[in-house]
Structure 1
Amino acid sequence: MSSNHGKVETDVEIKAPATKIHEVLTHRPHHISNISPNNIQGCDLLEGEWGTVGSVVYWNYFHDGKAKVSKQLIEAIDAEKNLITFKVIEGDLLEHYKSFKMTFHATPKAHGQGSIVHWTMEYEKHHGDIEDPHTLLQFAVDVSKDVDAHLTSAQA
């Protein structure tokens, strides 16, 4: 594995059930622009159906002070594990990375309410001078927290 291949990951504790946040990301990502408008401006379905492997979604988002876009193929969905994998096929990320994949995995907490959301980003950089996507990982954390706040306030 060359130094241009990398992986960053993090966990986010949330109050919402794992199944609920997975359902939003899988079947209703187009609602996230209303839930986290500072981060996500839009999500459109280009091919397939919401919540199905092989579907293509197009994100308009705001990251590192700039408006950006990302066209992503839904590569895997596991409803039992509350897991979804997106592979970036077009957009701003591919200016810096030859390949980029994001995996969201929500696990119910062993004791009590809430879940742990685990984000993994695997990538190959075009060259060694490109930074690892830590700010994008933080972006995923921020969006997760916004979705959690929305889901838990809706239950209150």
Structure 2
Amino acid sequence: MSLFGKVEADVEIKASAEKFHEILGGRPHHISNVCPDKIQGCALHEGDWGTEGSVIYWDYVHDGQAKVAKEKIEAIDETNKSITFKVIEGDLLKEYKSFKIVVQATPKGEGSLVHWSMEYEKLKEDVPEPKTLLQFAVDMSKDIDGHLTA
């Protein structure tokens, strides 16, 4: 069994790709106001909001437990409305040697399609695929959409 894996999901939203990308890439600290049941806080540790190389610290609730993650923004593609986050510290690294999240918003009809991709390397074979975390991201996308289209 491989320790490397990737899980992906798509979610259709009513908000534009530009608005979704802008809040996730440029104003992630607003997400705790949008879905406080999932994201308790988001703080900038290095760099500037919305810039590559910045380090963001997240306080969140996943599977009913309070968790933390420190992520570095590896890439922001304004043309394709995508952002790549690399987890560099936090609870995920207790089970995964590496964890990368890519989120891309693509215009679709009146709204957009948000594609989440999580690439990882498990520390051990019995570590589960991060399917509940992927669902967390999908649910968070729906919350953000509700906020942007309200």
TM-score range (shorter-chain normalised) is over 0.9
Residue 142 of structure 1, CA deviation: 0.6
Cα distance in 1 for partners of 2:145, 2:63 equals 22
Q: Where do residues 57-76 of structure 1 align in structure 2 (5 Å cutoff)?
A: 57-76=56-75
In the TM superposition, what is the alpha-carbon distance from 1:39 to its structure 2 partner? 0.3
Which amino acid letter does the alignment assign opposite residue 118 of structure 2?
M
Distance of 2:38 and 2:102 partners within structure 1:
18
TM-score normalized with structure 1 length: 0.95
Runs of at least 5 residues in structure 1 that lack an aligned partner in the other structure: none
Structure 1 letter corresponding to 2:49:
W
**Residue type matched to 2:128 in 1?**
E
Q: How high is the sequence identity, in percent, across the aligned residues?
A: 67
Return the offset for 1:73.
0.3
User: Do structure 1's residue 119 and structure 2's residue 113 form an aligned pair?
Assistant: no
**1:92 matched to which residue of 2?**
91
Q: AA paired with 1:130?
A: V
- RMSD, aligned α-carbons: 0.6
After superposition, residues 1-150 of structure 1 pair within 5 angstroms as 3-109=2-108, 112-150=109-147
- Displacement after TM superposition at 1:127 (Å): 0.7
Give the letter for the 1:117 counterpart.
V
Partners of 1:35 and 1:80 lie apart in 2 by 25
The whole-number CA distance in structure 2 between the counterparts of 1:87 and 1:138 is 18
Show CA shifts across 1:33-72 (max 9, x none). Answer: 0000000000000000000000000000000110000000
Letter of the structure 2 residue corresponding to residue 125 of structure 1: K
Please identify runs of 4+ aligned residues in structure 1 that moved more than 6 A: none
